[in-house]
Structure 1
Amino acid sequence: MSISASAADPSPKRYDLTARASQIDSRVKAHPEINFFLEKDGKPQDVQHACVDTRVKSQGKLVIWLMGHSQPLFERVSGYGLHAIQVHYANGWFGQFGKEPPPADDKFLGKIRLEAATGEDFSDVVNIPKPDGMQERALQFVKWLAKENPVGEWQQFLTADGKDLKWDRVIMAGSSHGSTTAARFAKHQKVDRVVMFCGPRDQYETWQGLPSATPANRYFGFSHVLDGGWTGDHYCRSWELLGLGEFGPIVDVDETKAPYGNTRRLITAADVKKDANRAHSSVVPGGSAVKNAEGKFIHEEVWKYLFTHPVEETGAATPHDPGCKLNLRKTETK
């Protein structure tokens, strides 16, 4: 679907909107047991962000971003003709349960992620009700946006009865912890696409290899080779377990031009002054991203590819990399 949003807006522009989840939906609450708050030190923690550019022809797709708000990212995706929201949902559990070594259950973190995403009872160690899960908060936010920003045409992402989002028009995206949850959710719920910056991880788990509601060719990953996620094969194994090897090899975007052989596995070795922490976040538009001598970001084409490359265009299948350990639990938890 592709529509002209500007036709509904007499003064087309980029709209950047914010709203607190607790003001949109009176049912939401804090979960201090997993370090998740609506306010902290007198400051709101549940501010959510949205962006749409009515000057750009709409692609009829909604990006749901699962990480802290990134204005540079939202400016770019809205420039591609995508709508975007960042939701505040009960994801504070990771600080408590994301430690290593893992428990006996090789899907332990995946179950928590799925409960945080859906607000349904998938895990025994957290109790996240529906109003505090990502799905419901995204739904309520889009319903609010449809009323508050009608020229943005947010209504197109709601089902006819207004009780759910049209998930086939949703692009799940995130970085690090957020990209991992985006991938786990997409296993459960079919979505249009998944964009995974510096992720996914959960390196001792096997949920990445579960049957997927979202076809594997719709997952796209991008990470830096100095990122700690490459230590111990964490990224390569997740990408292989997700089935991304069926759609092309790992491609260095600094050595290959778009469309990167139509692959789903992208890496960069751009200069980050050997800083692993910067490497981790350098793949997302923002302060850590790498610029050229003219001061322009060097990965603009990569970002556009991740969000807009036709999913039916894929690279050739590649064999398993024998140097990438797929079962870290057996080798690292003896």
Structure 2
Amino acid sequence: MRRLLGLAALLSALAAQAQEHSLRVPPQATDARLAADEPPHWVVYDPAAAEPLLVWLPGTNGQPANGPRALFQTVRDNGYRLIGLSYLDDVAVSQVCIGPRLRAHPTCAATFRQQRVWGDAVGAPIADRPEDAIVPRLVRLLKYLAEQDPAGQWADYLDGAEPRWRRIVLAGQSQGGGMAAYLAKTRAVAGVLMFSGGWDKDADGDVARWYRRPGATPPERWHATYHVREPQADVMANVYATLGIPKAQVHALDLPVIRRSPHGEGIGNPAYAPLWRQMLDATRPPDGPAGAAPAG
């Protein structure tokens, strides 16, 4: 009997793998204005399942297809589709909004993120074009997938000219976590998972003012992590408190560091898989394309 049960489990796993599709989509395939040498978007999904969608935003100089494999597998095992979005992540707020520029432009961090997320900031400190921005890239990718794979139900993740945010969880590490937070301030997404997600500051050294803005996504739909050995650990704890994330949903990681830097522990150490599952379960959006907005 045990052998039969084991065989059934193996066949079930193999069937699931057979249904799963993984794609690398060059950003230029979705918009000819984008550079041909950009890293590809990474898309993993079951075309037969109406799963919620997790959009992953890498950290500075990160490439979606080279992202945290154990975390990505946990995302899939928990019944999410996965899009690792390729965007311009070559410089971060902490490299640009500092020194004389920050003193001259106290809202530098917010302007930087507005341009990188939405592409419509006035006087941005970076040279990103409107078509380079995160949200336009995600919209064009979803439209591309809907056209290329209509049976994959990708149109269910679009709501006119924008993504259907109530079906989407945003997740990101470092710069990507900060971008997820900034986006969730202006749109009611299903959930936000921040992994060591940025530490924008004002000229006086306090956390940036944009963290204090009212947010469209309820605090109950946010989870955040940082490792206690990170140099910016105290600042990130302050950032998460300023965002209004409930204390029980801020996770101060303290297991021994197994990676080159504690900054990547939250996404790279498989020992945190139970926490990942907890975060994914807590932010899961309602099933189906017509689900109601998340409660909170």
Q: How does 1:1-334 map to 2 (within 5 A)?
A: 13-28=19-34, 38=35, 44-53=37-46, 58-59=50-51, 61-67=52-58, 68=62, 69=64, 70=67, 72=69, 73-94=71-92, 97-99=96-98, 102-159=102-159, 161=160, 163-204=161-202, 205-230=208-233, 233-244=234-245, 247=246, 249=247, 263-272=248-257, 277-284=260-267, 286=268, 289=269, 297-309=270-282
The one-letter amino acid of 1:267's match is A
C-alpha distance in 1 between matches for 2:122 and 2:281: 32
- Count of equivalent residues: 260
Deviation at 1:149, TM superposition (A): 3.4
Q: Name the SS of the counterpart of 1:306 in structure 2.
A: helix
What is the Cα deviation at residue 93 of structure 1? 4.1
Q: Is the 8 A contact 1:169 1:191 kept in 2?
A: yes
1:99 is displaced (CA, Å) by 4.1
Distance verdict in 2 for CA 1:122–1:86, change over 3 Å: farther
Structure number with the bigger relative contact order (C-alpha 8 A, sep ≥ 6) is 2
Aligned equivalents of 2:232 and 2:178: distance in 1? 12
Question: What is the CA-CA distance between 1:177 and the residue it aligns to?
Answer: 1.0
1:12-37: CA deviation from partner (whole Å, max 9, x where unpaired): 52211111111221133xxxxxxxxx
| Equivalent position amino acid for 1:27 in 2 | R
Shift of the alpha carbon at 1:240?
0.9
- TM-score normalised over the length of structure 2: 0.78
Per-residue deviation, 1:152: 3.1
Structure 2: 5+ residue stretches without partners: 1-14, 203-207, 285-293
Q: 1:71 to 1:222 in 2, by over 3 A?
A: closer
Alignment-mate amino acid for residue 49 of structure 1: W
What percentage of residue pairs aligned between the two structures are identical?
A: 23
Note the alpha carbon deviations across 1:128-159, whole angstroms, 9 max, x for none: 33321111110111111223334432221012
- Equivalent residue, structure 2, for 1:327: none
Q: Is the 8 A contact 1:199 1:229 kept in 2?
A: no
For 2:31, the aligned partner's letter is: D
C-alpha distance in 2 between matches for 1:145 and 1:227: 38
The C-alpha deviation readout for 1:259-294, integer Å capped at 9, x for no partner, is xxxx21012111116x7x52110110x4xx1xxxxx
CA distance in 2, matches of 1:139, 1:313: 25
Q: Return the TM-score normalized by structure 1.
A: 0.69
